[in-house]
Structure 1
Amino acid sequence: MIPDPSLSEYTGLREAHHSDRTLVLSAHRMNDGTPVMLKMVAPGCGDPGAARSLRWEYELLLLARGEAVVGTNRLIQSPSGPVLELEDLGEITLANAPALAAEQVLQIGIELATVLTRIHRLGVLHRDIHPENIAYSKATGRVTLLDFDAAARVEGRTQRSAEAGLGGAFGYWAPEQTGRINLPVDQRTDLYSLGAVLYRLLTGTAPGATDDALSAVHAALAIVPTPAHTLRPEVPATVSKIVARLLAKVPEDRYQSAAGLAFDLTRARDDLRLTRRVSDFPLGSRDVSEVFSPSRRLYGRADALAALAGTLSSGAASGNGTVVTITGPPGVGKSALVAEAARLIAAGGGAIAGGRYDQTAPSPMSGIVEALHAAIRAALTLPERELAVVRARVLDAVEESGPAFLDLVPKLKLLVPALPPVPELPPAEARNRTLAGLDALARALHTPSRRLVLFLDDLQWADAPSLELLERLLLTPEGRPTLMLAWRDAELSEGHPLTAVLARLPAESVRALQLGPLGVAEVTELVADTLSCPPSRAAELAEPLATKSAGNPYFVLQLLEALHERGGLRFDADQRGWT
């Protein structure tokens, strides 16, 4: 059966793959008999982004055309939507491959690392590498990367993609693809997913194999996979170390380039072929990122992070949320410290939900509403049984808030589609009812099995209703989520309303963290990590950067970016380093 009249020039149409968004048919062109694959929007798919993704995939496949990337011939504009004609590889994917011999896995890894080197140099991030998206011919050893509909194009400091999501598949997505930590998706994300594929081929199981979204998120953020050579003793220990490096939770701890990975995989394969063993050689000797990417590690904040971790731990033990304040000038690293804390929170099975105030925000309580929306999205990833408990808690908390409450917190409709009418009240009483509903909602989203941390940033710009709500949460600790509050202390005068709110709190109930500038040693470490060079070489650049930036981490990164854009920092492919 031909699903579209525009496909009448094809014969032998047969379904090869069907998902909620796309339908893939195998077919033959009638004019020359060439076998092809036809990828189109699935019948009944109501997602307008599906057609956009197909057009985007065609654009990227033309850009990345070449060895080890599935070829495309044309994009057909049919009445029912775009149809992408792809080459029929006549090969199966790695989806159902058993555990393979180490030498075979190394060869597959070399092929994939080589194609990633090429597409990364073109500014393309695949973002969805997993066995089903890799075609493999056992007879020829040919490896081909498929499905670029989730891919992104890097242009300067921005990324373009067909969809707003971060890509990835359960068991193969990197920590930064979970949406729970504030780290960019970049070329190292693809390398993490490739590491997960190699782990699966070596051991027979994915490092975070699960069908449950919450478990997949927890695995990506917190669970370190058992080393491959522990599960299969025949896997050489050095190969196991290569895969473990790819699967590092922190991007800076992974391989930084596909070319550096390909070098180590090739050396391991050659060792295995020549001696039937792999020597314990140092990893990453040729691994330098070819993409300028300033390090996002946290520098000079070990004491603050340890204090924050201790406070979070004590709050989790008591069941009542603690209060942490984080202050300092703009760019000093308040958000970066919280992003690091988010990993600890996620590793402990909790969730962090953040909101930022903006002095130009048109709507009231914008920061707290943004944070509650994030908390609701996190709740929706819970298993159905736990989600049902949260829904009941939330309904009980906001049932008397009235239908207008759903207009204030629109995403609440995902948990509670409707609220019963309530009597009209005078303005002051209506305001109190709304504040009571928000207070109760925040507490309802904080459950014994799912600890919640609310992070409110730039509180120097918070409006009066937000500060009233904050005071309610601060003065009644029972059952509240942990509160992490940040502001620019230079913009908080003695007469600021937030100062008055904080003054009513017992000093011992608040853990105050004050962040200052970085020293030359920390800036040197940042530069060394960014340029993948020894600290002794980085010091020459770090000292003037520390002086010019006054030790402000944000300004250090901006100065490095500006230096690179002006051509002051260039990657030398022959020397495999930045000059």
Structure 2
Amino acid sequence: MMNPLPELPGFEILSVVRAANTYTVCRAVRHEDQRPVVIKVLADRTADPLETERLRHEVAVSAELGGVHAIPWESMEQAGQHRVLVAADRAYVPIETPTLRDVVDICNAVADLHECSLMHLGLGPVQYLRDPATNDVVFEDLRTTRSMVNNRVDRSAMQRERHRLPYLAPELSGRTDHQVDHRADLYALGISFFEWLTGQHPFVATTPIEWIHAHLAIVPPQTDDLNPDLPRGVGKIIDRLLSKDPSDRYMTARAVAQDLDRCIRGEPIATEDEQRRFFQIPSTLYGRDGDLQQLRSFFATITAERSSAGLFISGYSGIGKTSLIMESISDIVAEKGSFVRGKYDQLNRNVPYQG
């Protein structure tokens, strides 16, 4: 992590709003016009073209959102060895220890982001500010956002950012066949809520493979056991957010906010049918229970005997061979096994080493 008070030519740093793993948000005065500004500076001083592009992306997303739930960045400037984003100072206040009412507001902010067809894919417990002028929740970092319309996500890149691993949804691990969509944000919210309300992370891990194993295979403890003072129903909300299968989570962040609001008022949370009025094609594998059981039995036998063997799955293209295998990965991960995959595309037979 960088120095909490970085020296930046052209700026007088007044205070640090937030010092995160990869960036610092500061309140400052710009020398050239003596204007009070808020700036974001990355921890890495190297001029990485990818990071520069991500900063430009954040400026574009902020403009697209019209400054709602986003710091309205005006420019990207060079300050010594650093590239910094600059915006007018609105005296943002970090949300350090959220109350349940703060959590409701955060969920509504995430819902607004999703309704603009954007996934955040970088949510964590240290991410949110308050705009005192509007009382809106503001995302202090939007570099990781992706469009929900063309949601091509580089899962391997997400895993390389070690500070994101504690909040990585199972479908972002590359070890499942589930499609990545806005519900990955809901999983990250569930992890954050768990930390805020219990004071600890639901999983214990240190290495990347341990984190991925936890997200795929370990059932988190009950929040009600760790914090008995929580309003009734909050634990069930967190349990649903932390479901391994995206189809078992809430469909929208707005539904999460509404259920939390019911808990605050002492009312029962909504039924599953009410939450599933939003159409979403499930990623659950249907009609292959027998085949899946055969795979699991085969793997269990090999594991118990500590032996080695081969198993071949054949069939016409498109009948679901890959989906069947991907569905069984959780069993391999549960035993801390390794999964290696490759593909030989029949349309690329003329390309050497294409497999």
What TM-score do you get using the length of structure 1 for normalisation?
0.54
Unaligned runs of 5+ in 2: 1-5
- CA contact 1:229–1:240 (8 Å) conserved in 2: yes
Q: Tell me, yes or no, if structure 1 residue 286 matches structure 2 residue 281.
A: no
- CA contact 2:27–2:36 (8 Å) conserved in 1: no
Q: Specify the alignment match of 2:158 in structure 1.
A: 165
- CA contact 1:27–1:38 (8 Å) conserved in 2: no
1:111-130 mapped onto 2 (5 Å cutoff): 111-130=105-124
1:29-428 mapped onto 2 (5 Å cutoff): 29=30, 31=33, 33-40=35-42, 42-43=44-45, 45=46, 47-67=48-68, 69-78=69-78, 82-86=83-87, 87=89, 89-94=91-96, 97=97, 104-105=99-100, 107-135=101-129, 143-155=137-149, 157-159=150-152, 164-165=157-158, 169-271=164-266, 278-279=267-268, 281-288=269-276, 293-359=280-346, 360-362=348-350, 364=352, 366-367=354-355
- CA contact 2:76–2:86 (8 Å) conserved in 1: yes
| 1:39 counterpart SS class | strand
1:244-273 CA-to-partner distances (Å, cap 9, x unmatched) read: 0000000000001112222212211222xx
Q: Tell me, yes or no, if structure 1 residue 3 matches structure 2 residue 4.
A: no
- CA contact 1:195–1:246 (8 Å) conserved in 2: yes
* 1:128 shift after superposition: 0.9
Change (3 A) 1:361 1:57: farther
1:499-514 mapped onto 2 (5 Å cutoff): none
* 1:287 shift after superposition: 2.0
- CA contact 1:40–1:54 (8 Å) conserved in 2: no
- Rounded to whole Å, the distance in 2 between the matches of 1:212 and 1:137 is 36
- Rounded to whole Å, the distance in 1 between the matches of 2:93 and 2:18 is 14
* 1:41 shift after superposition: 6.8
| 1:242 counterpart SS class | helix
> Partner amino acid for 2:245?
V
Change (3 A) 1:18 1:52: farther
Q: Specify the alignment match of 1:426 in structure 2.
A: none
1:473-497 CA-to-partner distances (Å, cap 9, x unmatched) read: xxxxxxxxxxxxxxxxxxxxxxxxx
Q: Specify the alignment match of 1:484 in structure 2.
A: none
Count of matched residue pairs? 343
- Rounded to whole Å, the distance in 2 between the matches of 1:51 and 1:346 is 36
- Rounded to whole Å, the distance in 2 between the matches of 1:237 and 1:71 is 35
1:557-572 mapped onto 2 (5 Å cutoff): none
> Partner amino acid for 1:336?
S
Unaligned runs of 5+ in 1: 272-277, 368-579
- Rounded to whole Å, the distance in 2 between the matches of 1:41 and 1:230 is 38
1:417-457 CA-to-partner distances (Å, cap 9, x unmatched) read: xxxxxxxxxxxxxxxxxxxxxxxxxxxxxxxxxxxxxxxxx
Change (3 A) 1:88 1:312: farther
- Rounded to whole Å, the distance in 1 between the matches of 2:41 and 2:285 is 44
- CA contact 1:170–1:208 (8 Å) conserved in 2: no
- CA contact 1:51–1:81 (8 Å) conserved in 2: no
* 1:35 shift after superposition: 4.0
- CA contact 2:108–2:257 (8 Å) conserved in 1: yes
* 1:330 shift after superposition: 1.7
| 1:353 counterpart SS class | coil
1:435-446 mapped onto 2 (5 Å cutoff): none
> Partner amino acid for 1:70?
A
Q: Specify the alignment match of 1:26 in structure 2.
A: 27
1:450-529 mapped onto 2 (5 Å cutoff): none
Change (3 A) 1:66 1:46: closer
- Rounded to whole Å, the distance in 1 between the matches of 2:22 and 2:47 is 8
- CA contact 1:2–1:13 (8 Å) conserved in 2: no
| 2:74 counterpart SS class | strand
* 1:89 shift after superposition: 4.3
Q: Specify the alignment match of 1:517 in structure 2.
A: none
| 1:28 counterpart SS class | strand
* 1:27 shift after superposition: 0.8
> Partner amino acid for 1:200?
E
- Rounded to whole Å, the distance in 1 between the matches of 2:153 and 2:82 is 22
| 1:12 counterpart SS class | strand
- CA contact 2:190–2:242 (8 Å) conserved in 1: yes
> Partner amino acid for 2:255?
G
- Rounded to whole Å, the distance in 1 between the matches of 2:146 and 2:301 is 41
- CA contact 1:172–1:206 (8 Å) conserved in 2: no
> Partner amino acid for 1:211?
T
- Rounded to whole Å, the distance in 2 between the matches of 1:294 and 1:301 is 18
1:149-203 CA-to-partner distances (Å, cap 9, x unmatched) read: 1111222x44478x95367723222111222223222110001111111111111
* 1:58 shift after superposition: 1.0
| 2:54 counterpart SS class | helix
* 1:242 shift after superposition: 0.7
- CA contact 2:151–2:180 (8 Å) conserved in 1: no
Change (3 A) 1:285 1:358: closer
Q: Specify the alignment match of 2:3 in structure 1.
A: none
RMSD, aligned α-carbons: 3.1
